């Protein structure tokens, strides 16, 4: 089933729901408990997403959705467990874009494109280029022009082997600039380095810099998202700043083990589509900097394939290694 992916996420959800509700429901009459594996510690974005949607679906669909955190080995442990689970819809995975990065950094016992059935992309979180509020760079163009004027003089902090690093390398290549990368072990240390004047910029998820942006300590220059962020409507995207086609959204998506029946996948998608239509659910998600970005079927599978190949190329070219 192919559902459109470039219209408003809420129109897409509504269209998906009208189709999915017409399906014959058999699987859910026997599968009353579904486990959502989150391969990250409790309290992270994937965990919050799983719990918000799981609680809503448990109330409305008459089933029990349980969230199980299985962190470890950069999300590999929990992800591999789902790849080996029975393909009956009782075990699901909610993970992030890192799902497509890990196979390029280490040898795995699963393939993200063949070991899973992609159900839907649920939400995305923008990655933002941010400078200190006292920085002389008022715009994204100011920052890039300074980098071109003095190659290698500007520095940017981020985690060493995640999507933010890949997005940075993509930006360097697209803009043809020489900016020095400074690795930090997490968002908070990178932000502290920026506040302390040790680096000139950071490239991090909005959730990692939201508090400092709201407090006026930092200034956002550009977003790596396809469209402008709801939280930062005045901040341009990298693409609209002269780099057409540039996109590096940090998404969270829902997956089942490979060979899960199509009718089961469709019913699961219907549950999540219905939950995300509820205004209270959307409000909870947005409050956590999780913005509905519904995409399923062939469109989601195509995105996964495109990003898997794109990220792999960047990792090889930039010689990025595992943390």
Tell me the C-alpha distance between 196 and 88, whole Å.
52
| Nearest-10 crossing angle of helices 9-20, 262-276 | 130
Q: Which pLDDT belongs to residue 23? A: 43
Position 145 in a domain: yes
Q: Which pLDDT belongs to residue 8? A: 54
**Same-domain status, 28 and 120:** yes
Which tokens sit at 72?
């470890």
Position 50 in a domain: yes
Per-residue pLDDT tens for 293-322? 999 999 999 999 999 999 999 999 999 998
| Nearest-10 crossing angle of helices 279-287, 262-276 | 80
Residues of the chain with pLDDT under 50: 1-6, 19-25
Q: Which pLDDT belongs to residue 63? A: 94
**Same-domain status, 144 and 231:** yes
**Same-domain status, 79 and 17:** yes
Say which residue the tokens 């979180």 belong to: 125
Q: Which pLDDT belongs to residue 323? A: 73
Q: Which of 241, 262, 279 is the last residue of a domain?
A: 241
**Same-domain status, 186 and 288:** no
CATH number assigned to the domain comprising residue 291 = 3.40.190.150
HSE, CB side, 13 Å, CA atoms: give it for residue 172: 19
Q: Total structural domains in the chain? A: 2
- 296's enclosing H/E stretch is strand 291-296
Q: Which of 191, 224, 241 is the last residue of a domain?
A: 241
Residue 134 structural domain: 127-241
Tell me the C-alpha distance between 22 and 87, whole Å.
23
**Same-domain status, 13 and 111:** yes
Q: Which pLDDT belongs to residue 1? A: 39
Cα angle for residues 225, 284, 227 (degrees, 5° grid) = 15
CATH number assigned to the domain comprising residue 224 = 3.40.190.10
Position 301 in a domain: yes
| pLDDT averaged over every residue in the chain | 92
Tell me the C-alpha distance between 169 and 176, whole Å.
10
Taking a C-beta distance cutoff of 8 angstroms, is the pair 169, 316 a contact? no
Q: Which of 207, 222, 241 is the last residue of a domain?
A: 241
Which tokens sit at 262?
């199509």
């Amino acid at each position: 089933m192919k559902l459109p992916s470039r219209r408003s996420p809420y129109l897409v959800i509504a269209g998906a729901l009208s189709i999915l509700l017409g399906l014959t429901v058999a699987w859910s009459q026997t599968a009353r408990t579904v486990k959502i594996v989150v391969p990250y510690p409790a309290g992270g974005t994937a965990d919050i997403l799983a719990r918000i949607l799981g609680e809503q679906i448990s109330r409305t669909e008459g089933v029990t959705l349980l969230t199980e955190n299985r962190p470890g080995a950069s999300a590999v442990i929990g992800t591999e467990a789902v790849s080996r689970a029975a393909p009956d819809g009782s075990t699901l995975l909610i993970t992030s874009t890192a799902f497509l990065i890990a196979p390029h950094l280490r040898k795995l016992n699963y393939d993200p494109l063949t070991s899973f059935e992609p159900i839907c992309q649920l939400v995305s979180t923008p990655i933002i280029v941010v400078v200190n509020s006292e920085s002389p760079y008022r715009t994204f163009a100011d920052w890039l022009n300074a980098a071109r004027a003095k190659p290698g003089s500007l520095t940017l902090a981020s985690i060493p082997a995640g999507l933010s690093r890949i997005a940075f390398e993509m930006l360097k290549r697209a803009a043809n600039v020489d900016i020095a990368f400074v690795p930090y072990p997490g968002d908070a240390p990178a932000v502290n380095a920026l506040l302390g004047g040790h680096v000139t910029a950071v490239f991090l998820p909005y959730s990692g810099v939201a508090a400092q942006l709201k407090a006026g300590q930092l200034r956002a220059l550009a977003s790596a998202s396809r469209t402008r962020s709801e939280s930062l409507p005045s901040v341009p995207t990298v693409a609209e700043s002269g780099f057409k086609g540039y996109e590096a959204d940090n998404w969270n998506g829902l997956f089942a083990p490979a060979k899960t029946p199509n009718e089961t996948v469709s019913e699961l998608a219907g549950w999540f589509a219905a939950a995300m239509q509820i205004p209270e659910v959307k409000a909870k998600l947005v409050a956590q900097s999780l913005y509905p970005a519904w995409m399923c079927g062939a469109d989601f599978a195509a995105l996964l394939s495109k990003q898997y190949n794109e990220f792999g190329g960047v990792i090889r070219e930039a010689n990025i290694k595992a943390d």
